[in-house]
Amino acid sequence: MTTHHIGLAFALIGDLFPDGTSKEVASYLNRKGPLPFGAIVREVNLSAVNIARSIATLAMHDLIECSSDNRSDSKRVLYAFSLQRALYILHYAKCIHCARQLYGFDGELIIEELLLNGKQRMSTLLIKVYERLIKAGKDPTVHSLQSIKETFKSLVSAHFLQRILIDETKPHIPITIEETSTNLVQIPELTPEGWKYLISNQQEESSEPAAKKIKVPTPTFGDEKIFWKVNFQRFFAHLRDQELIHAFTSRIDSNAGEIVRTMLRLAEIKPNPERTISISFIEIAKTISAAGLQLTDETLQKYMNVITSDVNNCIIKIGDQGRGTYEVDFQKALSGLTKAHIQSFLRERYGSNALRIYNMLEERGCLSQKQIEDMAMINAKEAQQYVYSMFIDGMLSLEELSKANDFNPTRTFYFFRVNLYNGVLSLLDHSYKTMSNLMQRHQFEKERHRKLIDKRDKVEAIIHSLREQNADDEQIKEVEDILSPIEKEQIQKLDAAFRKIELAQLQLTETILLLEMFLSISKSVAPAQKKTGGRAVAAKLLETRS
């Protein structure tokens, strides 16, 4: 974990929990490790009540992990901060947008409620989502409790929501356990009294104001011990599939993108994170024809040949059964997408000559400084500057081949090669730093123009209330004239700057997600920077040349 990684994580926690207490508690746990509640109260200069509330809130969002203390017989609970889970806050907007595209407004609100409030029961979630729909002015006949429940079932069946239970074996530990695979998609049946209570509240919500409601005691719903949370890995897999579809669409055409989409849809719930299940040509042809894409078998076979001969080789033909059986290798797919980001980074940072050296090393494997100068046709000074700059940034790795065991520099040959794993780590660190800078810049501009933003918000609130009261255009015009032309121009410039920052954050979030997924799925290990023996390097050089 780098300083940029840690700084971004706590900046995201500060934005999600603006009280400040949660950020301070999380920062202390990150420095000191798993601690009991008493130790946190003694060390952190806050009241015990505020610390307990912060720990409960962070635990509801899976930012704090609870475990029992195995070193003593006492029933102490240890709290540890999850730094990697804190970075998931970056992808909240993407998950909400994905739910909106797949399941409409109901699905968007369900995911948004779970992300804002953490783990929740289905009955509580149905009530909150329905109340928000009514406040948003939606038609209660279209967005009813039954429709929200059906959307909830669709999210669960597609594994976008994850079912968890309270751990009854350890009642002194406030943690939940994930369900087994057989119970993941089981929706709890609400009791008749609970469902009747929800329906009655639905009718009262759409007809009577809240002040005139008769308070009825809340019954038991039957799902008091069953909670639900967002399954981020399923959302990340869907976003990865979308990136893969977009890559084939831009590289070949839209038909190729639809074929890849069909293959991924046939194996949507994947038992293997690295590859899909085997998909036959006949299944692909049937699904494409059912979807309305007019492609003959001969045309589809030509597309499959082009797709399987792609430079990244991420779609593999593994057999001839059923006119061909195919798999999608996600590791190779993510490697190809990641290389494209690294190449773009090198082009922008060092120029086209550095990118040419990088591509040449990736193709050739292992070259010395003199070989790089001769083959890249760049003068020695520039080639040395490019190579050493990329080596310092972690894009290249250095291997040593010595004539003797002392590794004397005068009797040692130095070879450079591309190291994709270290390059991804370096680019990810740059991305974390850039994201932190963008967040700080956004906050700085917001504080700098605080008075102007508050004035604009007040004017917009007054105009909104006047329009609800069916006021005349002259009255609205008078309120709009409160802002001078210079202030309106400043607001337009400020909004344009905010849009640029938000667009940059959105694009950077996609890059960070792609790089993190590559690191999680990659089988390679970050190599240790150590001196290499002569036989090992010689064998690699012979293998590369052959």
The string of pLDDT tens digits covering residues 335-354 is 888 988 898 999 988 888 88
Which of 233-247, 400-414, 470-484 has the largest mean confidence?
233-247
Same CATH topology for 3-82 and 90-193+223-230?
A: yes
In the prediction, which pLDDT does 538 show? 41
User: How far from 254 is each of 245, 257, 465, CA to CA, in Å?
Assistant: 9, 5, 47
DSSP alpha helix (H) spans, 19-144: 21-32, 37-43, 48-60, 83-86, 92-117, 122-135
CA-nearest of 189, 184, 187 to 163 is 184
Q: What pTM was computed for the model?
A: 0.82
Q: What CATH number has the domain spanning 3-82? A: 1.10.10.10
> Hey, where are the domains in the chain?
3-82, 90-193+223-230, 234-328, 351-418, 424-524
Q: Give the tens place of pLDDT for each residue, 140-153.
A: 777 778 888 889 88
Do 434 and 341 contact (CB within 8 A), yes or no? no
Would strands 176-178 and 315-319 be described as parallel, antiparallel, or unpaired?
unpaired
Percent of the residues in the chain that have a pLDDT greater than 90, as a whole number: 12
In the prediction, which pLDDT does 434 show? 92
* CATH for 351-418, options being 1.10.3720.10, 3.40.190.10, 3.40.50.150, 1.10.10.10: 1.10.10.10
In the prediction, which pLDDT does 524 show? 44
Cβ-proximal residues to 154 (8 Å cutoff; 6+ apart), any chain: 103, 107
Cβ-proximal residues to 146 (8 Å cutoff; 6+ apart), any chain: none
The pLDDT-based confidence of 38 (bands split at 50, 70, 90) is confident
Could you tell me the fold of the domain covering 90-193+223-230? Arc Repressor Mutant, subunit A (1.10.10)
Q: Which two tokens stand for residue 158?
A: 């597609």
Q: Which two tokens stand for residue 409?
A: 């520099």
Name the residue type at position 294: Q
* CATH for 234-328, options being 1.10.10.10, 3.50.50.60, 3.40.50.300, 3.40.190.10: 1.10.10.10
Q: Give the tens place of pLDDT for each residue, 373-418.
A: 888 888 888 888 888 888 888 888 888 877 767 666 677 788 888 8
Section 211-240 average pLDDT: 76
Alpha-carbon distance 38 to 24, whole Å?
Answer: 16
Do 130 and 205 contact (CB within 8 A), yes or no? yes
161 by DSSP, 3-state: which? strand
In the prediction, which pLDDT does 436 show? 92
> Residue 153 CA to chain centroid, in angstroms?
23
Do 187 and 207 contact (CB within 8 A), yes or no? no
